[in-house]
Structures are given as C-alpha cells and as structure tokens.
C-alpha cells in the first residue's frame, strides 16, 4: 500500500470490495464491481460516491464577498444565500488555477469546493488575495466528508432519510438540515450530468449516512460508484476536468467558459486585464467534442489532424468509449476553423489515423 | 485474487497454458481488474509470426488501453472470436472463456510460475 490518505469511508469501501487508486494523495475507490454497471446505474437509477478528496475552504468576515469578487473571476457577492455558482480562480495572466463551486451559506460565510489536486494552490492563492480585506479563510477539508447521490432516483432515495423539502431545493442550491439524523449541508449539485445531491457531513457521521443511503437506495437500483465512472459520466456530460481540459495554460475562453468571467463587476479582480485581452482577441484554440464510429477511442494527448492537409490542428484532452452512447467520444482543443459541428477530422490513435467528427457538447443531456 | 496453479505467467500479466507446442494466452484477473471493464479487444491475425515481447494486440477499457504482448516466439494459430464479440469475458472469465489467442511455440521463453506471479503482484 502507498502512504495515501484514506477517507473516513475507507472501511465501507473495503467492505464493498472496492479497488483503490491514489488520487492527489488520497486513497479513493476507483470501482466496486464494474465501471460500466456503475455508470449505467447513475444514468438510469442512482450512484453513491465518496468525494471526500475534494478540498473545502470556508471564508467569513464583513468584507468576504468583496474579497472573493477580487479573487475569483465570477461575482460571489451576487450569489444569494443558499445558492451556488460555478467559477474559476485565474492567475494574473488569465490561466486557470482551478475551477470551483462557491456556495453562499450566509451573508458573510462562503464555502468553496476545490479539486483535490489544486486544493493547496487555491488555499494559498486565496490567503494572499484576501489580504487587506476584512475576511478570513479556514481550510476545512478535514472537517467535511462529501458524499454524492447522483441519478434520476436521487430524490426518492434522499427523501426517505430527510425531512428537507427536496422539491424546493433547486439546482445549484444548498440547505442545512438533517439526514439520517445527522447534521448536514445538502446541495443540489454534481458532476455527472444527472440530477442529484452532494451531502457535506461530519467525518464521524459519514459511515452512518453512507450505509443509510446504500440501504435506502438498494430498492431503487443505487450502486456505490467509483472515480472511474465519475470520469466517463462527466465526459459524456461535456464537463471539463482540471488537468485535462483546464490548466494554467488555458483561459476560460478557450474552454468555452468565458461566461464565467464577470467583467461587469465593481473593482479590479485578479486576471482582469489578461482575460479582457483574450476575450477581445478571441481564442486561438477551442474546446470541441469528437465522436467516432470506430471502436478505438481517442485518448488524452493524441494528435488531431486535418484530413485534407494532414497537418496537426489540435490535441485530445479526454476520451473514452461512451458507456451510454456505445461509441468513442472525446474532447479536444482544435484551431479556430476546425471547430464547427460536422467538421471531419482524424485522430492519430497509436499510429493509425481514425476518422472523427466534431460535435456540439455535451454528448449526453438528461431527458 | 485467483492465480491458478496450473498456468504460467509473464510480468506483463498474461497467463499461458501450454499443451505440447500450443500455448493458449489470456490476461490475468489482476490485469482485468486493473483495466476495468474491457470494451474492445484487438488481436493479431491467424498466421502472424510473433516474437516474445512484441506488441501484437490491444485491450481497451473505459479507462485505458494497454498492449497485448506476445509471451513466446511463435505463430498465431487461433484467436478467440467470442472475446472479440464480447470483450467483457476478459473480466468475467479471464482464465477460461476470456482466453485471447493460441500460438504454436517455436522458441523457449522464461515464464513465471503461479507462486512467482503472485509475488510479483504483491501476494495475497
């Protein structure tokens, strides 16, 4: 075994026969039985995920909203209490340091959820950026266990364990309450393209909540689900993954996420000048979807070619055989002019160039 | 993880069942578990001559793709069409229905016995 950090649910995963992988220093379940079965369960019933590796940062103080408007590309001061927004932390040159979900828990209390691999970078950048504001940051990663229930059966499953009025909890909203008799934060967010919930609970309560959800979900077809299917689910849903689609070398505009940059907000924010330039110049590379009728899947790093000239015009960032669609799908950065849906391109799959077609993202949208 | 005693193994996580000069080859349960659900298997053509260590096929799962290496020198005499049609057999029945190919062995190669392979994968 490696020295990676177990989550508070490690014993539960072992009991369920999980295979583990090291992910950003955490020992995480990669699958329990079959990635495809877990993927399909999320699309048709529900899946139960341990996401305790995600980083949680809590910010408080009289000027916390202004401090975050300055620090992030979005406008957290405009987020209503009990609501959430997807946003990004960018460097002064506009490069993406992480993509984040920001929840406003109270007027002067925000919860920021960062990718495990970037949690330290986000924490250090925010500590520096909020200096001079009346705001404080606490890294509460170790205080929270994050459990997600994702899939069309999420509502009936969670409803059996809480009195919270789930119908009133809108997409990208968060509420405090009780679930399986433990105090929790219940958010209607996720990373699978399905309806579902993310449950923030105390580590001591995590095993009780996990087993209660497994039991409540079993009649609905819920399966425990690992990181392997989380990746194919997010890919089908066209959601970017930091390290694949997003990096310090890309700005939100290449990723097709320029809308997250709030140029209209008051005051300066880190990266404003560089991002405004990129907005005005236009991106040189654009994130697109690719599909193929073949059997071999484009994978991260594979070159994308123009079949006419043979020239390389881009590179794949993520790719896999889509369990839902039954054919290979991929995301890639390609040069402007090659990004129109219907464009025929080729991907060099380990020495053989296979035909692919540019398609609009996402590949999959829930009914 | 099961490592059948009656088979031989390579460090590339393949198993070999020798019957005279015919070797049946598959990948181990350990390899199948590491790959995840196999969705595509590409195998060499019958008649191909292979040398030990040659990449002669591919095994693709939702998560990754890995080469299939020839475990011995020889000539491919049969491939498992059933596993091409239903690649999940590699996961569900790796040592029987999930076999990949048969070759007529033409040279000697150092293979691992079950105990040595078990040590390689960390033992149980």
CB contact (8 A) between residue A36 and residue B62 = yes
Residues of chain B with C-beta less than 8 angstroms from the C-beta of A229: 62
Q: Count of domains in chain B?
A: 1
Instruction: Tell me the mean pLDDT per 10 residues along chain A, length 367.
Output: 85 97 95 96 98 98 98 97 98 98 98 97 98 98 98 98 96 97 97 98 98 98 98 98 97 95 95 96 93 95 97 98 97 97 97 96 95
Query: Lowest mean pLDDT: which of B20-24, B52-56, B101-105, B107-111?
Result: B107-111
Q: Which pLDDT score is estimated for A284?
A: 87
Per-residue buried b or exposed e for B40-66, using 16+ beta carbons within 10 Å of the residue's own CB: bbbbbeeebebebebebbbbbbbbebb
Q: Which residues contact A190 (CB under 8 A, 6 or more apart)?
A: A148, A150, A196, A197, A198
Closest Cα in chain B, distance from residue A265 (Å): 41
- Alpha-helix runs per DSSP H in chain A: 10-15, 35-44, 64-71, 119-129, 154-159, 203-217, 227-236, 272-281
Residues of chain B with C-beta less than 8 angstroms from the C-beta of A350: 58, 65
Complex ipTM value? 0.81
Residue B111 in domain: no
CB A195 within 8 A of CB A26: no
Closest Cα in chain B, distance from residue A125 (Å): 32
Residues A145 and A50: their CA atoms lie apart, in Å, by 8
Residue B117 in domain: no
**Identity of the residue in B34, B40, B91 whose CB atom sits nearest the CB atom of A295:** B40
User: Where does the pLDDT of residue B1 fall: very low under 50, low under 70, confident under 90, or very high at 90 and above?
Assistant: low
Q: Which pLDDT score is estimated for A325?
A: 97
Residue B1 in domain: no
Triad A225, A231, A236: Cα angle to 5°: 110
CB A230 within 8 A of CB A320: no
Residue A12 is assigned to a ligand binding site: no
CB A9 within 8 A of CB A52: yes
Residues of chain B with C-beta less than 8 angstroms from the C-beta of A351: none
Q: Which residues contact B10 (CB under 8 A, 6 or more apart)?
A: B16, B69, B71, B111, B112
What structural domains does chain A harbor?
A: 5-52+144-236 (3.30.1360.120), 55-142 (3.30.70.1400)
Q: Which domain holds residue B56?
A: 10-106
Q: Which pLDDT score is estimated for B110?
A: 87
**Terminal-residue alpha carbon distance, chain A:** 42
Q: Is A218 exposed, middle or buried (0-12, 13-18, 19+ CB in 10 A)?
A: exposed
User: Where does the pLDDT of residue B108 fall: very low under 50, low under 70, confident under 90, or very high at 90 and above?
Assistant: confident
Q: Which pLDDT score is estimated for B123?
A: 62
Instruction: For residue B43, give the nearest of B6, B72, B76, B92 by alpha carbon.
Output: B76
pLDDT of residue B124 exceeding 60, the answer is: no
CB contact (8 A) between residue B36 and residue A228 = yes
Residue B116 in domain: no
CA closest to B84 among chain A residues: A295
Closest Cα in chain A, distance from residue B115 (Å): 20
CB A275 within 8 A of CB A336: no
**CATH code for the domain in which residue B101 is found:** 2.40.50.100
Instruction: For residue A90, give the nearest of A281, A315, A262 by alpha carbon.
Output: A262
Residue B14 in domain: yes
Residue B57 in domain: yes
């Amino acid at each position: 075994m490696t020295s990676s950090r177990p989550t508070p649910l490690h014993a539960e995963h072992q009991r369920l026969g999980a295979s583990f992988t090291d992910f950003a220093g955490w020992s995480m379940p990669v699958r329990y039985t079959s990635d495809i079965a877990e993927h399909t369960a999320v699309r048709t019933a529900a899946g139960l995920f341990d996401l305790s590796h995600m980083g949680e940062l809590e910010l408080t103080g009289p000027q916390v909203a202004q401090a975050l408007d300055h620090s992030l590309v979005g406008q957290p001061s405009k987020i209503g209490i009990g609501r959430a927004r997807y946003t990004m932390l960018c460097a002064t040159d506009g490069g993406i340091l992480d993509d984040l979900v920001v929840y406003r828990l109270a007027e002067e209390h925000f919860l920021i959820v960062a990718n495990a691999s970037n949690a330290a970078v986000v924490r250090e950048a925010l500590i520096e950026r909020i200096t001079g504001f009346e705001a404080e940051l606490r890294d509460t990663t170790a205080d929270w266990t994050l459990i997600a229930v994702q899939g069309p059966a999420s509502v009936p499953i969670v409803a059996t364990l809480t009195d919270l009025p789930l119908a009133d909890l809108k997409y990208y909203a968060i509420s405090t309450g009780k679930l399986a008799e433990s105090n929790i934060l219940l958010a209607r967010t996720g990373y699978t393209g399905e309806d579902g919930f993310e449950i923030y609970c105390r580590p001591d309560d995590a095993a009780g909540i996990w087993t209660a959800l497994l039991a409540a979900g079993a009649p609905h077809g819920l399966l425990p689900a690992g990181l392997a299917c989380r990746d194919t689910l997010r890919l089908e849903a066209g959601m970017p993954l930091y390290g694949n689609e997003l990096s310090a070398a890309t700005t939100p505009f290449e990723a097709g996420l320029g809308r997250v940059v709030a140029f209209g907000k008051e005051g300066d924010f880190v990266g404003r000048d560089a991002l405004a330039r990129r907005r005005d110049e236009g991106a040189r590379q654009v994130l697109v979807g690719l599909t193929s009728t073949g059997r071999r899947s484009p994978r991260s790093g594979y070159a994308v070619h123009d079949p006419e000239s043979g020239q390389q015009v881009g590179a794949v960032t993520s790719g896999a055989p889509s369990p839902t669609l039954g054919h290979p799908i991929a995301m890639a950065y390609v040069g402007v002019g090659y990004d129109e849906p219907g464009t025929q391109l080729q991907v060099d799959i380990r020495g053989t160039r296979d035909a692919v077609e540019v398609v609009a993202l996402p590949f999959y949208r829930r009914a | 993880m099961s490592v059948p005693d009656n088979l031989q193994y390579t460090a590339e996580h393949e198993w070999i069942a020798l019957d005279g000069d015919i070797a049946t080859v598959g990948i181990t349960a350990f390899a199948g578990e590491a790959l995840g659900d196999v969705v595509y298997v590409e195998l060499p053509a019958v008649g191909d001559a292979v040398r030990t260590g040659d990449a002669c096929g591919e095994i693709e799962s939702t998560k990754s793709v890995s080469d299939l290496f020839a475990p011995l020198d020889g000539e491919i005499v049969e491939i498992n069409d059933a596993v091409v049609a239903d690649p999940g057999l590699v996961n569900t029945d790796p040592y029987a229905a999930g076999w990949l190919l048969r070759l007529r062995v033409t040279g000697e190669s150092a293979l691992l016995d079950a105990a040595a392979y078990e040590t390689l994968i960390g033992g149980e």
